[in-house]
Amino acid sequence: MVALLIVSTLGLLPAAGQKVASQKVWTTYHKAALVELAPKYKSYSMEYDLPSSDKGMLGNVLAKAAEHYLSTLSAVEPPVPWPTIDVSKPLKLQNLEFKKSGGDVVLKIFVAAPTFGIQSHLTNTFKDKDSGKSRTQYAYDLLFTAEHGYTLSDATTQTVLASYKGSQRGVRTSYFDSVKELDVYVRNKMQPDLVVQLFDEVVKRADFELGGNTWPARMTVNSVEGDLPSYQEINTATNEFIGALSATTPDLPKIQNLTTVWEKYLVQANWDDKKAEINRKIGLGLIENLCVAYLLLENYEGVREKAAMFENQNRSFFAKSLPAFDIAGSYSGPGEGSMPVIHHGSPSTFTTVHFRSDIGGRRKPIGN
């Protein structure tokens, strides 16, 4: 009787040390535009408002806070030529036809000439690997102000349909071998470099928010090793999920249904007991599956919620890396850096994106 009781009790216990198996899967991620233009809009034009050397923008652009530090400079090199910014390639704007002028809507990209002040002086002393001697390099942390952004307007009524404007933020210069070289850079090339950087950022943001884009992406999906009924149900959902991801167009209705399986077991997670049927390791794997699913469903609130839960429950000495995915090099949204990968047998460059990034935003119809 005692032996039977022991066997029966052991039969109810999950195996210790459950393992989560991860698999990389290629899929297609479609991101709808944050603003959906009304059907009455058929075409668009683009305008640019950018600083140039003939506007006198290359002269005294430093804030007074910086003048003291540069006043001892004995010689300033001639101003560098203002950079040429290529505006010949229009952004793709949903399904609208591009016209050089006379479009139904006008997308305007603007960048003002930056003014900036020095916030702090930085030094970096190190041993030169070639000479073995100590070297010191110098840089500044700057705070710059430059209005930059875009407006999308109805060409007839001038009604602003969508817009973004940034203004002030910090930036760090490169390190130079002398304070003089650093100061010459700040007086001459720093401003045009910032203009080029801001222009590129605004164009990418407009493309990401307004374009409506589709990218190849590589996702991580998880299954659980073990024979318990709960694990089998999780794994069945994961296998069906992989099939839905691998389709030419992801099967979104099926993906939506599969999320209910992972959500059901996620609420049963015991985050403190390693021997629990749904322990921390399995719970984090379920969260990662749900992040992928909600991203493809464009349920960005769900993505943010699950990414925050992962971070909150992942606070241990053996913490896992934050959940992320890889996306094609043409991707123009927030990212953590690029990496080389092999896609369809060919080398390509992809950007790593954390699910906690501001991927989505709120989508809304406008101009009805």
Residue 296: count other Cβ atoms within 10 Å of its Cβ. Answer: 24
Structural domain includes residue 161: yes
Residue 94: pLDDT over 50: yes
pLDDT at position 290, please?
A: 98
User: Which pTM was predicted?
Assistant: 0.73
pLDDT at position 80, please?
A: 56
Structural domain includes residue 70: yes
Residue 293: count other Cβ atoms within 10 Å of its Cβ. Answer: 27
Q: Do 111 and 226 fall within a single domain?
A: no
Say which range, 4-18, 304-318, 347-361, has the weakest mean pLDDT: 4-18
- What are the φ/ψ torsions at residue 317 (nearest 5 degrees)? -60, -30
- Whole-angstrom distance, CA of residue 294 vs CA of residue 300: 7
Condensed to tens digits (0 to 9), the pLDDT of residues 17-64 reads: 578 999 999 999 999 898 889 999 999 999 999 886 544 333 333 333
Q: Do 248 and 359 fall within a single domain?
A: yes
Higher confidence at residue 234 or residue 339? 234
Give the C-alpha distances (Å, rounded to integers) separating 138 from 71, 132, 174, 295.
17, 19, 8, 43
Residue 357 pLDDT level (bands cut at 50, 70, 90):
confident
- Domain hosting 72: range is 35-207
Q: Do 353 and 224 fall within a single domain?
A: yes
Instruction: Provide the residue count of the chain.
Output: 368
Residue 187 pLDDT level (bands cut at 50, 70, 90):
confident
Structural domain includes residue 97: yes
- Whole-angstrom distance, CA of residue 138 vs CA of residue 98: 47
Higher confidence at residue 364 or residue 39? 39
Residue 343 pLDDT level (bands cut at 50, 70, 90):
low
- Whole-angstrom distance, CA of residue 132 vs CA of residue 128: 5
The two most distant CA atoms of the chain are separated, in Å, by 97
- C-alpha gyration radius of the chain: 27
Residue 103 pLDDT level (bands cut at 50, 70, 90):
very high
Amino acid at 169: R
Instruction: Return the closest-CA partner of residue 118 out of 167, 172, 39.
Output: 172
Amino acid at 12: L
Secondary structure of the chain in the HEC alphabet?
A: CHHHHHHHHHHHCCCCCCEEEEEEEEEEEEECCCEEECCCCCEEEEEEECCCHHHCCCCCCECHHHHHHHCCCCCCCCCCCCCCCCCCCCCCCCCCEECCCCCCEEEEEEECCCEEEEEEEEEEEEECCCCCCEEEEEEEEEEEEEEEEEEEEECCCCCEEEEEEEEEEEEECCCECCHHHHHHHHHHCHHHHHHHHHHHHHHHHHHHHHCCEEEEEEEEEEEEECCCHHHHHHHHHHHHHHHHHHCCCCCHHHHHHHHHHHHHHHCCCCCCCCCCCCCHHHHHHHHHHHHHHHHHCCCHHHHHHHHHHHHHHCCCCCCCCCCEEEEECCCCCCCCCEEEEEECCEEEEEEEEECCCCCCCCCEEECC
Higher confidence at residue 124 or residue 34? 124
Question: How far does CA 61 lie from the centroid of its chain?
Answer: 31
Name the percent of the chain lying above pLDDT 70.
Answer: 82
Number of structural domains found in the chain: 2
- Whole-angstrom distance, CA of residue 23 vs CA of residue 219: 8
Q: Do 19 and 61 fall within a single domain?
A: no
pLDDT at position 83, please?
A: 65
Q: Do 195 and 228 fall within a single domain?
A: no
Q: Do 42 and 187 fall within a single domain?
A: yes
Most confident by average pLDDT, 105-109, 113-117, 343-347: 105-109
Last residue of a domain, one of 150, 172, 207: 207
Q: Contact, 149 vs 87, CB < 8 A?
A: no
Residue 188: pLDDT over 50: yes
Structural domain includes residue 2: no
pLDDT at position 168, please?
A: 86
Structural domain includes residue 254: yes
Structural domain includes residue 8: no
Higher confidence at residue 248 or residue 277? 277
Say which range, 94-108, 153-167, 340-354, has the weakest mean pLDDT: 340-354
Last residue of a domain, one of 207, 237, 271: 207
Q: Do 80 and 26 fall within a single domain?
A: no
Residue 153: pLDDT over 60: yes
- Whole-angstrom distance, CA of residue 62 vs CA of residue 117: 6
Structural domain includes residue 229: yes
Instruction: Return the closest-CA partner of residue 82 out of 60, 125, 45, 51.
Output: 51
Taking each helix axis from N to C end, the angle separating 229-246 and 280-296, rounded to the nearest 10 degrees, works out to 30
For the chain, give the mean pLDDT. 83
Residue 298: pLDDT over 80: yes
Q: Do 163 and 68 fall within a single domain?
A: yes
pLDDT at position 189, please?
A: 83
Last residue of a domain, one of 207, 239, 270: 207
Q: Do 175 and 220 fall within a single domain?
A: no
Condensed to tens digits (0 to 9), the pLDDT of residues 311-334 reads: 999 987 678 888 999 998 678 888
Residue 229: pLDDT over 60: yes
Residue 3: pLDDT over 70: no
